[in-house]
């Protein structure tokens, strides 16, 4: 029996059957290649989620395939400490890609990806390295998942990141947006990115491509919005190669109006592949922390920033804002006029200042958002939601400077808040004032402000995957 086994092995290893062996290994690869040729690129996000997003393609020849950076079976992670820092996985994924690039002529896309690979390496190295010095601001403290990694990532963004803004489209629907009300961040970002140094006029130098659409400008008539978005993407896809190259994976849209998420469903790839920068960061409405960005609603008011010190705030908790939405109704039902030190109002009494109340309150109730007003006034946010993703959660550890509650916790609100010791509260309130710079909006953007934080979140999503151009193979 043993001699037969060795005879088989000798037969298999002999030169006489080398051709047979080659066919044995090649046939499965040929079949696999044929199957892959009718599939679109697989966009694998690393650090946030494990699974890859595979989209069907209308072309029999793939325009792009993505290089897998991280693939396992964990659930999504929403913090910067786990975003890019599995060294083994990074080394295993980046090195073969670099060796493959050396064997063929490098395309412009290859050179772009090489720059991003260097940025990833620098960020990974900074995680446990020395703190980088900065004349303007050095992030530090438990408000950040990893302050050193964030700082290095921010500096790499400043050094490398380029955004191409499509010039097609006319105002007010394109290249414009609101500058007042809670949707003002939409207009402010569109205005700032078009005049900012991060913008490049050369699409070959871009890392991401911005679709400068303002959903709010067409919000009075929902029916045409989907057609407008579809027509616009068709125009830029016909004129430029970049949408089809990635099936929208390196493109992003921004919307603060609540129809923003719905607008993205007008095109499957816009929803599934593209980076959606949304005020409505709600996972129950299809928000995906792996590729989407949650950014804050900011109602611009003069003289809003500031408030009493932690020890001089006499009101335990404050809320006023109607009952629009199920969470607000529960807050009002449980706490309006129920406790002397909990100021909950469906509508504020005449002559009472909304921001004045926030400035003298310890905690401000924020149902599914509106936490920025609390941060501006030095009030510790109490974020109440079951599905809301706070802004910049990939960088910030919100539990260090806010209270996060489920809707079912609302009846026990006071017990939860008074269980926070005075020392713990003072620390949280100090962290709120420290983190405030990242939520401040300026007519001319300043480093580390809210404009740059939104841009940094897009930068992180672009670091989360690589693109490989088949045309250069």
Which is more confident, 159 or 31? Answer: 159
State yes or no: pLDDT of 248 exceeds 90: yes
Measured at the alpha carbon of residue 205, what is the angle toward residues 202 and 208, in degrees to the nearest 5?
A: 100
Burial class (CB in 10 A: 0-12, 13-18, 19+), 41: buried
**What is the rounded CA–CA span in Å between residue 266 and residue 6?**
63
**What is the rounded CA–CA span in Å between residue 53 and residue 71?**
11
pLDDT at 73: 28
Tell me the pLDDT tens digit for each residue of 291-339. Answer: 999 999 887 665 578 899 999 999 999 999 888 788 999 999 999 999 9
Q: What backbone torsions phi and psi does residue 294 show, to the nearest 5 degrees?
A: -95, 125
What the block records as the tokens of 183 is 């949707």
Distance from chain centroid for Cα 265: 18
Residue from 392, 360, 409, 399 nearest 457 by CA: 392
Centre a 10 Å sphere on the Cβ of residue 197 and count the other Cβ atoms it contains. 9
Centre a 10 Å sphere on the Cβ of residue 10 and count the other Cβ atoms it contains. 10
Contact 210, 164 (CB under 8 A): yes
Q: What is the pLDDT averaged over residues 143-147?
A: 97
pLDDT at 54: 28
Strand partners, 171: none
Q: What is the pLDDT averaged over residues 216-240?
A: 81
What the block records as the tokens of 421 is 């010791």
Long-range pairs, 150-154, Cβ under 8 A, ≥24: 150/80, 150/395, 151/126, 152/122, 152/123, 152/125, 152/126, 153/80, 153/119, 153/123, 153/126, 153/456, 153/459, 153/460, 153/463, 154/448, 154/452, 154/456
Lowest mean pLDDT among 5-14, 161-170, 297-306: 5-14
pLDDT at 187: 87
Contact 254, 270 (CB under 8 A): no
Domain map of the chain by residue range?
A: 108-157, 161-297+443-463, 315-439
Q: pTM of the entire structure? A: 0.79
Contact 384, 331 (CB under 8 A): yes
**What is the rounded CA–CA span in Å between residue 425 and residue 444?**
34
Residue from 357, 389, 393 nearest 373 by CA: 357
Most confident of 36-45, 82-91, 340-349: 340-349
Contact 62, 470 (CB under 8 A): yes
Tell me the pLDDT tens digit for each residue of 204-220. Answer: 999 999 999 887 655 55
Q: What is the pLDDT averaged over residues 243-252?
A: 96
**What is the rounded CA–CA span in Å between residue 84 and residue 288?**
17
Q: What is the pLDDT averaged over residues 394-416?
A: 97
Average pLDDT, the chain: 79
CATH number belonging to domain 315-439: 3.40.50.2000
pLDDT at 369: 78
Give percent above pLDDT 90 in the chain: 57
Measured at the alpha carbon of residue 122, what is the angle toward residues 119 and 124, in degrees to the nearest 5?
A: 110
């Amino acid at each position: 029996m043993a001699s037969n086994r060795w005879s088989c092995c000798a037969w298999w290893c002999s030169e006489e059957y080398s051709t047979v062996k080659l066919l044995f290994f090649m046939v499965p690869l040929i079949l696999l290649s044929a199957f892959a040729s009718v599939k679109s690129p697989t966009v694998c996000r690393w650090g946030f989620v494990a699974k890859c997003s595979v989209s069907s393609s209308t072309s029999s020849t793939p325009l792009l395939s993505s290089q897998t950076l991280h693939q396992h079976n964990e659930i999504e992670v929403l913090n910067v400490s786990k975003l890019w820092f599995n060294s083994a996985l990074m080394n295993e994924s980046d090195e073969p890609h670099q060796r493959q690039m050396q064997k063929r002529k490098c395309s412009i896309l290859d050179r772009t990806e090489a720059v991003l690979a260097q940025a990833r390496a620098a960020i990974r190295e900074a995680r446990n390295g020395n703190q980088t010095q900065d004349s303007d601001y050095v992030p530090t403290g438990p408000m950040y998942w990893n302050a050193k990694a964030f700082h290095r990532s921010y500096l790499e963004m400043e050094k490398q990141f380029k955004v191409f803004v499509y010039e097609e489209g006319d105002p007010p629907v394109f290249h414009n947006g609101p500058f007042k009300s809670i949707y003002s961040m939409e207009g402010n970002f569109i205005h700032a990115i078009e005049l900012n140094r991060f913008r490049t006029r050369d699409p070959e130098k871009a890392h991401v491509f911005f679709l400068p659409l303002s959903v709010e400008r067409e919000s009075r008539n929902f029916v045409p919005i989907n057609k407008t978005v579809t027509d616009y993407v068709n125009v830029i896809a016909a004129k430029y190669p970049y949408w089809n190259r990635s099936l929208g994976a390196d493109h992003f849209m921004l919307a603060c109006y609540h129809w923003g998420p719905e607008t993205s469903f007008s095109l499957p790839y816009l929803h599934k592949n593209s980076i959606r920068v949304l005020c409505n960061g709600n996972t129950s409405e299809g928000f995906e922390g792996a590729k989407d960005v949650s950014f804050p609603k900011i109602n611009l008011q003069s003289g809003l920033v500031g408030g009493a010190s932690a020890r001089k705030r006499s009101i335990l908790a404050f809320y006023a804002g109607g009952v629009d939405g199920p969470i607000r109704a529960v807050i009002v039902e449980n706490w309006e006029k129920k406790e002397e030190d909990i100021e909950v109002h469906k509508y504020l009494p005449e002559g009472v200042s909304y921001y004045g109340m926030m400035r003298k309150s310890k905690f401000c109730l924020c149902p599914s958002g509106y936490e920025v007003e609390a941060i501006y006034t030095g009030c510790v946010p109490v974020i109440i939601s079951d599905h809301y993703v706070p802004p910049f959660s990939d960088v910030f550890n919100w539990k260090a400077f806010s209270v996060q509650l489920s809707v079912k916790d609302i009846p026990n609100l006071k017990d939860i808040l008074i269980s926070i010791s005075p020392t713990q509260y003072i620390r949280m309130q100090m962290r709120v004032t420290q983190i405030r710079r990242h939520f401040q909006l300026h007519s001319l953007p300043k480093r580390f402000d809210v404009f740059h934080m939104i841009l940094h979140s897009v930068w992180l999503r672009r670091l989360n995957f690589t693109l490989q151009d088949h045309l250069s193979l």
